[in-house]
Structure 1
């Protein structure tokens, strides 16, 4: 008698789970710390004032966040000040980028002119805009905020414009067939279909804006910021403080990027663009 297999279609093979990936990342971190400790505290290849060990850097972090000492609480207030400027500038940049990106995606003359200008400006390092921002706004945090907005706005506008152009033509035809006008087609058909690619633009805008913020804060003193902590470490020859601030900058940037990446992955799975793992 013939038998039939009712198990259904074979499921695609899943890649390593997120926990396995996290385990490898933690293992890599431990390896880096071990090599760092070996070079500085065991072999002593460099004097502590040139390349301090992990313990000295951790001491600066603990002093700056919750301990007592010369940097008591200053790192914590610096993180708060930088995040406040970053979130303010980032939200403004995203709002402006989405608006301009929609206009460029809907109107070709604007896309061919302004889009080309924005692409050219994007190739300019963010630190190059800081002197102009200081001369225009003064030596204050508005100058740093302006650089953040500019560096976040450009990739966001280009991402939205490019995402709209990558929508399958069949969706445009279907929307027009159902009677959608230009505005309705953009807001109700093209924009939702572009969402996965727009979320990629959000991550890119965050990365550009975060780097621009720290670079701007290096040259704008008098405010609590991570850039100011880097400058304090340089002026006092405190390499441990410089390394501690760099580590915190990397951790904050990586954390927000991971959050945006997780949200993007969730949306892509909902759109059927990724296989759940």
Structure 2
């Protein structure tokens, strides 16, 4: 005889850490990292400044690059503006292109079986591998950068949209058909709205791919105001502090946009009843 043990529903669920507590943990972790960095450089002086600069040297590069008033200052600020303009242009174009292709793949099996497989294979290729082709095909200019960004942005969206449409519960499809939805109407009015939470996950993945592709392409295409060109300037002038300052800014911008998209995704998932607010 099998005895089934019923869960004790009277016991309160264990609450996870609050948002404020998580922020405190993150700030403490940041302080520890900066403290260890200072100890290795200014404290113990294990490395010379031109090999591994101190936090103060990197902060100096950031402050000069963002709000300095000298003739060579403000370069990082203009680089940020140029890179954001390119990545947002390519990202939006990738979302539109990927959304259309994803809808077509989700609705038509032959296209999904062919193009879907090809896109999965192309996604496994590092974005930097497409830069030489983009340069030879479009020239050593901004168009080559946008080509690589759009390519890396639209593939995750197309695959996410196609996969999300296929993973809609059959009960919703039956309910939609019962209410008279057919063909394109069923896709746009039933399947697509039900797929929104999973599609948003693809949008976050698309952003990370596009951002990394942008910086990689900018590294190899000189003559444009960009964060990639700042990395190249730092390398050519042996300015490690500038290189680290640019890397930190790249990480902050990428993390900020990902946090915004993650917040939107969490809100949508709660509205859909996929997550419970503690």
TM range (shorter): over 0.9
Q: Does the CA-based 8 Å contact 1:63-1:70 persist in structure 2?
A: no
Structure 1 match to 2:48? 47
Query: Which residue does 1:75 correspond to in 2?
Result: 76
C-alpha RMSD of matched pairs (Å):
1.3
Aligned partners of 2:196 and 2:14: how far apart in 1? 27
Runs (4 or more) in structure 1 with deviation over 3 Å come to 8-13, 68-71
C-alpha distance in 2 between matches for 1:69 and 1:21: 39
Unaligned runs of 5+ in 1: 1-7
Matches of 1:275 and 1:70, distance apart in 2:
54
Q: Aligned partners of 1:82 and 1:65: how far apart in 2?
A: 14
- 1:236 aligned partner: 237
SS in 2 for 1:84: helix
Q: Residue 87 in 1 paired to residue 88 in 2?
A: yes
Instruction: Tell me whether 1:110 sits opposite 2:91 in the alignment.
Output: no
How many residue pairs match? The answer is: 270
Q: TM-score, normalised by structure 1?
A: 0.95
**How far did 1:12 drift?**
4.0
How far, CA to CA, are the matches of 2:251 and 2:151 in structure 1? 21
Equivalent in the alignment of 2:258: 257
**Could you say which residue in structure 2 is the equivalent of 1:3?**
none
Q: Deviations over 1:129-172 (max 9, x none)?
A: 00000001100011000000000000110011111111001111
Q: Is the CA contact 1:60–1:71 (under 8 Å) kept in the aligned structure 2?
A: no
SS at structure 2 position matched to 1:72: coil
Distance in 1, matches of 2:271 and 2:20, equals 21
Q: Which whole-Å deviations, capped at 9, do the CAs of 1:196-246 have from their partners, x for residues lacking one?
A: 000000000000000000000001111100000000000000000000000
Mapping of residues 27-38 of structure 1, within 5 Å: 27-38=28-39
Matched-pair contact (CA < 8 Å) for 1:122–1:154: yes
Residues 106-127 of structure 1: CA deviation (Å, up to 9, x unaligned): 1111001000000000000000
Unaligned stretches of 5+ in structure 2? 1-8
What's the counterpart of residue 197 of structure 2? Answer: 196
Instruction: Tell me how far apart the structure 1 counterparts of residues 71 and 157 of structure 2 sit (CA, whole Å).
Output: 40
Q: CA deviation at 1:68?
A: 3.8
> Separation in 2 of the partners of 1:70 and 1:56?
19
Tell me by how many angstroms 1:13 deviates. 3.6
Matched, 1:174 2:175: yes
Partner of 1:133: 134
Corresponding position of 1:226:
227
- 1:10 & 1:70 partners in 2: Cα distance? 66
Aligned to 2:164: 163
| CA separation of 1:92 and 1:70: change in aligned 2, threshold 3 A | same
* Structure-1 residue corresponding to 2:152: 151
Q: Which whole-Å CA distance do the structure 2 matches of 1:57 and 1:209 have between them?
A: 26
